[in-house]
Amino acid sequence: MMRVNSSQNTGTHYDAMNMRQQRTTLFFTVQDKVGALDECLGALRKAEVSMTRIESRPSKSVDPGYDFFVDISAETKEVVQRVVEEIKKVDIVKDVRCVSSMDAVAEVAAHPSGEQPVPWFPRKISDLDTFAEKVLDMGEELSSDHPGAKDPVYRKRRLEIVQKAKQYRTGQPLPRIEYTDQEKETWRQVYTRLRAMHPDYACREFLHVFPLLEQNCGYGPDDIPQIDDISRFLKDCTGFTLRPVMGLLTPRDFLNSLAFRVFHSTQYIRHHSDPYYTPEPDCCHELLGHVPLFADPNFAELAQEVGLASLGASDEDIEKLATIFWFTAEFGLCKEGAAGAVRAYGAGLLSSFGELEYALTESPEKRSFDPSQTSVQKYPITQYQPIYFVAESFRDATAKLREFNATMRRPFQVRYNPYTQSVEVLDSKDKVQHFARSIRNEMQLLATALEQI
């Protein structure tokens, strides 16, 4: 893997390399009975497929009973068809269908009419707990080329930190880490160098928020801020909160979380032997790159818009949305001021010494942000970007993204309810009417406020 300062790999919180290698997920409901799960797993073994994940919840349709989500390795429709047929033979199974897969494998079996299945997605913020252990890479396991791979002390320390993320559940206090002097020194070197560069390269929204983080969240060169303090600050600003994560999530899981204004943040730090390089997102990337703009209302709206569009989206659309996130929240540029000066707002740039400077030179190509074009642009993950997309503003980018999202093939619309921290699916007349009434009430409030100005 190519080594670059604050490597490109810090620019994604999901496994971009494996984006096309997702598994097929089966959903089935069983009656509560001793040995019920064993019977279903026996059917999988008979179908000769490998199971990579299993997840259960109390059933909403069978009482007593359970709903199961099982990830299997299945690359063809024929394999999925065989698995579904075997599970259907189990008499206690009341429902079985595919809920997600790659390359339309899920058109399968349970949907012979050609109806497109909708992938499962979180409906309430506590559903994000199901992502806690679903990391694809890094976390407690390090790749052989990681600077800390052969350091047993570093590996042990990483394991201590990621275990806290693994155990965290919604509603609990965010874990606080007592960082070592060595970790603080690594942070100091990164913080000091980036802080000196930001005034010349970062967008004005980033520069406005950063001093507030220093005043309210313990930002500074001498200690690593705690995500609990930062999360409280962000919630007061825009409703965004932080959540600890073990490592890289799937693109779908990572984007789904943004719909709830939740950002998954690592708490471990890069290896001290090379403070200016990391092959993965770490707390330097999260806290110095991403966090400041989650306190900006317009950027927060843009990030959530990507998240809402990802709920129940097809695998093809998830890939497009992940690419849009890459070229905006990770490596985005924007115009500002009457002269239209270009500045950086992407976290992959703002946490990278080398690429932050490079991106604003004449060397790379710069294009106007257009979601229909941006979403299909290929990109490298181990070297500086040859192409960057420039937004007119966060509001303009959000407006364009909404127009793009309207072209997606999802058969329903969703809205986020901040009062219940849940997602409402607008798939019936009653729900749409209720939503319309709430909009009408808000419009009446707006009209009254305008009259009083």
pLDDT value at residue 140: 62
Residue 23 — φ and ψ, nearest 5°? -90, 165
Produce one character per residue of 19-43: b if its CB has 16 or more CB atoms within 10 Å, e if not.
beebbbbbbbbbeeeeebbebbbeb
pLDDT value at residue 408: 92
The bridge status of strand 413-417 relative to strand 24-31 is unpaired
Tokens of 345: 């707002």
185 belongs to the catalytic site = no
Tokens of 249: 């999530």
Give the CB-side neighbour count of residue 151, counting CA atoms within 13 A: 15
pLDDT tens digits, 102-114: 433 333 334 444 4
pLDDT tens digits, 338-369: 889 999 999 999 999 999 999 999 999 999 99
pLDDT tens digits, 161-219: 999 999 999 999 999 999 999 999 999 999 999 999 999 999 999 999 999 999 999 99
Judge whether residue 334 has pLDDT over 90: yes
Q: Work out the number of other CB atoms within 10 angstroms of the CB of residue 228.
A: 17
pLDDT value at residue 141: 72
Query: Facing residues of 262 across strands?
Result: 241
Query: ∠ at Cα 323 (321, 328), nearest 5°?
Result: 95
Give the CB-side neighbour count of residue 408, counting CA atoms within 13 A: 29
290 belongs to the catalytic site = yes
| Predicted TM-score (pTM) of this structure | 0.78
pLDDT value at residue 5: 40
Write down the catalytic residue from 290, 305, 310, 355: 290
Judge whether residue 431 has pLDDT over 90: no
**By mean pLDDT, which of 129-143, 157-171, 418-432 is the weakest?**
129-143
**By mean pLDDT, which of 197-206, 260-269, 277-286, 325-334 is the weakest?**
277-286
Average pLDDT, the chain: 86
Judge whether residue 17 has pLDDT over 60: no
351 belongs to the catalytic site = yes
Write down the catalytic residue from 351, 352, 355, 375: 351
Tokens of 253: 């899981």
Whole-number percent of the chain with pLDDT over 90: 60
pLDDT value at residue 79: 79
Write down the catalytic residue from 205, 280, 305, 330: 330
d(CA 98, CA 80): 8
Helices (H) and strands (E) in the chain, counts: 16, 14
pLDDT value at residue 102: 40
Task: For residue 151, name the pLDDT band (cuts at 50, 70, 90).
Answer: very high
Q: Under the phi-then-psi rule, with left for phi > 0, alpha for psi from -120 to 50, and beta for the rest, what region is 312? A: left
pLDDT value at residue 128: 95
SS3 assignment for 240-302: CEEEECCCEECHHHHHHHHCCCEEEECCCCCCCCCCCCCCCCCHHHHHHHHHHHHCCHHHHHH
Query: Facing residues of 96 across strands?
Result: 28
13 belongs to the catalytic site = no
Write down the catalytic residue from 285, 305, 314, 375: 285
Judge whether residue 390 has pLDDT over 90: yes
Task: For residue 22, name the pLDDT band (cuts at 50, 70, 90).
Answer: very low
Contact 73, 285 (CB under 8 A): no
pLDDT value at residue 61: 64
Contact 162, 246 (CB under 8 A): yes
Contact 117, 106 (CB under 8 A): yes
Distances (CA, A) of 41 to 70, 80, 97, 145: 10, 15, 15, 37
